[in-house]
Amino acid sequence: MNRKAKIRLIMYDILGIVLSGVIFFVPIYFLLITSFKNVKEAYRMELSFPEQLNIIENFKEVLSVQNGIVLRAFLNSFIITAFAVTGLVLVCSMAGFVIQRRKNKLTGLWNMVILVGLMVPPAIVPTIWVLNSLNIYGTIPSMILLEIAFFFPFSTLMYKGFMKTIPRELDEAAILDGCGRIRLFFQIIFPLLRPVNITIIVLTTVFIYGDFMNPLYFLPGPRNATVQLTLFNFIGQYSSEWNLLFADVVMVTIPPLILYLFLNKRIIRGMVAGSLKE
Amino acid sequence: MKNSITKNTYSYYYLLPAIIIYTTFFIVPTLISFFFSLTRWTLFDWEFIGLKNFINFFQESSLNIGLRNTLIYASMTSGLKVILGLLIAVFLCSGIRTKNYLRAVIFFPALVSTMAVGAIFKALMNPTRGPINQVLTAIGIEGPSWLGNPDLALFSVIFVDVWKGVGIATVIYIAGLMSIPPHYYEACDVDGGNSFQKFTHITLPLVRPAMNAVIILSLVGGLKSFDIIWAMTGGGPGFASDVLASVVYKQYINGFYGLATAGNVILLILIAIIAFPLYRFLSRGEVEY
């Protein structure tokens, strides 16, 4: 590489760092410093560093507001996310297994259903009507089942795509050796799905934890609040106490941030695989 | 022998949980939405009123603005993500050393929840004290009311949506760019092609599968968009930034269940007549060298 090209690349590096700093770091920086300030200082919304650090007080106050609704919301969000993600991994890996291995009218139909379901949004009030008829509207288990249903097309498609790379001969060999169909799936196939399992776990965790619209409709009431719902209510309630609102934003953002710090390559690769595999 | 292996091994029992859950919680509601969109409905009681809900939707200005805004919102967010994502990806793949770092920074907002992003930008866009307008004031420009001006609110939200989503578009493009064999570019060098020709004759056609994924993903996402709009403007001021999904929510909390369901059906039809044909069209146009 000649000198001119080298200099140009370094200029690009600098340009990229400056631009990304202004566009992506400033909002995050603003979020952090504001969550550390006291009410008065936060109200001025300046980009300056806090004169007085109020970190612990702010976070304590957010946690104690409305009898600790934020803690409750964290608990609800964790329960919903954990069960829905576990359910998705089980239900969709099994579905992907049969749909990929067995080609007939029924599995062809479900292939279609999955492709359509990937794009079509849920019909809100009819879903509530169904939940009401089953007497489970507004319960946490119903929210878990709904999240499984909403992320079923995406997850199954990922499993189906990956299942292609596991040779069928493996199944036949195992069966001929006397392996039952339950052992075949759970002891031979499922462990081989590890990469796609991790992708699905990480992606659906981020999506379901961050879901706002579905709990808004299907999980009303303060006892069932999720973190995103409390965050939304705070946006309305604390429009002049930005330090508290932002302290909540920081807390809500910490779990996905931790995931990202440890798994950022895998998350990015998973997102790419999920969207390119149609 | 082979057939019986298939039947026993790949038993439908494995498919059963998925069928039950998806049918109960998605397929049934979607199918019955077509019926209830034709009724005046209280969840316990319904009255058939034909196409009246749909006529309402297209005639009343507070409702049909949602349809108009949905189209603006979806086309602008996906258009910007398709173009900016490609430009950023090409920039990051130009051989710079900070590629991985910048990619991680640009992708990060995709993981922050929409509500959190909405809260941050609502503060940044505050008309009097918000940092954006403070900076503009400092350089002598009077900043507008980003979310309070009816002509501007929708576009301010579009900006935030692109800010949050362009990272996903970028990483998809990067994957597409990395799969282009470098010797195509070398051949172009030998033939004396310049970098613009490389872009239009090699990069652009070969990155098409990635571009198609970005188009479909961001278009469908844009049509369904609700969270960010509801967090930042609540559809306001007035109805200026209402989209179909926020109109559905407003009708729902006011108890107009038939009307809300009609809104859902319109959204479904919109996706069916825009996204499905587009998907077909795009996947046909992909080239192989």
**Residue labelled with tokens 């997850």:** A155
Q: Which of A32, A101, A118, A119 to mutate to test the interface with B (most CBs of B within 10 A)?
A: A119
Judged by CB atoms closer than 8 Å, whether chains meet at B22 and A145 is answered as no
Q: Smallest Cα–Cα separation from A167: which of A185, A189, A183?
A: A189
Partners of B98 on chain A (C-beta within 8 Å) are 13, 16-17
When pLDDT is cut at 50, 70 and 90, the band that residue B288 belongs to is low
Residue B108 DSSP symbol: G
Q: Domain range holding B185?
A: 61-284
pLDDT for residue B289: 55
CA–CA gap between residue A265 and residue B100 (Å, rounded): 10
Q: What is the average pLDDT value for chain A, to the nearest integer?
A: 88
In B154-173, the residues whose Cβ lies within 8 Å of chain A are: 163, 168, 171-172
**pLDDT tens digits, B100-116:** 889 888 988 988 999 99
- Please give the interface size between A and B, counted as residue pairs whose CB atoms are below 8 Å apart: 263
CATH class, domain A59-276, is: mainly alpha
**With contacts defined as CB-CB under 8 Å, which chain A residues touch B104?**
264
Q: Report percent pLDDT > 70 for chain B.
A: 96
For residue B191, the model assigns a pLDDT of: 86
Q: Is it the case that residue B3 has pLDDT exceeding 70?
A: no
**Residue B93: partners with Cβ closer than 8 Å, 6 or more residues away:** B99, B174, B177, B178
What pLDDT does A278 receive?
44
Let me know if residue B245 belongs to a domain. yes
Q: What are phi and psi of B236, to 5 degrees?
A: -90, -170
Interchain pair A257, B111: CB under 8 A: yes
B32, B102, B111: which to substitute to probe chain A, counting the most A Cβ within 10 Å?
A: B111
pLDDT tens-digit series, residues A105-122: 998 999 999 989 988 999
Q: Which long-range contacts (CB under 8 A, 24 or more apart) does A175-181 make?
A: A175/B5, A175/B9, A181/B8, A181/B9, A181/B10, A181/B11
- Of residues A63 and A127, which shows the higher confidence score? A127
Is residue B18 in a domain?
A: no
Does residue B238 register a pLDDT over 90? no
Q: Is the pLDDT of residue B231 over 70?
A: yes
pLDDT tens figures, A245-260: 889 999 999 998 888 8
Q: Note the pLDDT of residue A277.
A: 56
Q: Is B117 a residue whose pLDDT tops 90? A: yes
Kindly state whether residue B32 falls inside one of the protein's structural domains. Answer: no
Identify the top-confidence range among A58-67, A82-91, B131-140.
Answer: A82-91
Q: Give the highest mean pLDDT range of A186-195, B15-24, B133-142.
A: B15-24
pLDDT exceeds cutoff 90 at B94: no
Minimal Cα–Cα distance from A120 to chain B, Å?
Answer: 6
Domain presence at residue B41 = no
The span from the CA of B20 to the CA of A171, in Å, is 26
What is the average pLDDT score of chain B? 89
Indicate the pLDDT class of residue B286, thresholds 50, 70 and 90: low
- The residue with greater pLDDT, B166 or B7, is B166
Contact B119 A46 (CB under 8 A): no
CATH no. for residue B123? 1.10.3720.10
Does residue B47 fall inside a structural domain? Answer: no
Pick from B15, B97, B213: which is nearest to A13 by CB?
Answer: B97
Beta carbons of A94 and B264 less than 8 Å apart: no
Rg (Cα) of chain A, in Å, rounded?
24
Mean pLDDT of A140-160: 95
Q: How confident is the model at residue B287 (pLDDT cuts 50, 70, 90)?
A: low
Contact state of B264 with A121 under an 8 Å Cβ cutoff: yes
Residue B110 is given by DSSP the state G
- B134 in reach of chain A (CB within 8 A): yes
Residues 18-47 of A with CB under 8 A from B: 20, 23-28, 30-31, 34, 43-47
Question: Which of B141-150, B184-193, B247-256, B280-289 is the least confident region?
Answer: B280-289
Q: Is B35 part of any domain?
A: no
Predicted-complex ipTM score:
0.89
Instruction: Answer yes or no: is pLDDT of A218 > 50.
Output: yes
Q: At what angle do helices A242-276 and A227-237 cross, to 10 degrees?
A: 140
Structurally, chain B folds into a number of domains equal to 1
pLDDT digits (tens, 9 = 90+) for A151-170: 999 999 989 988 988 998 88
CB contact under 8 A, A232 and B231: yes
With H, G, I as helix, E, B as strand and everything else as coil, classify residue A119.
coil
> B29 to chain A: which residues are within 8 Å by CB?
122-123, 126-127, 129-130
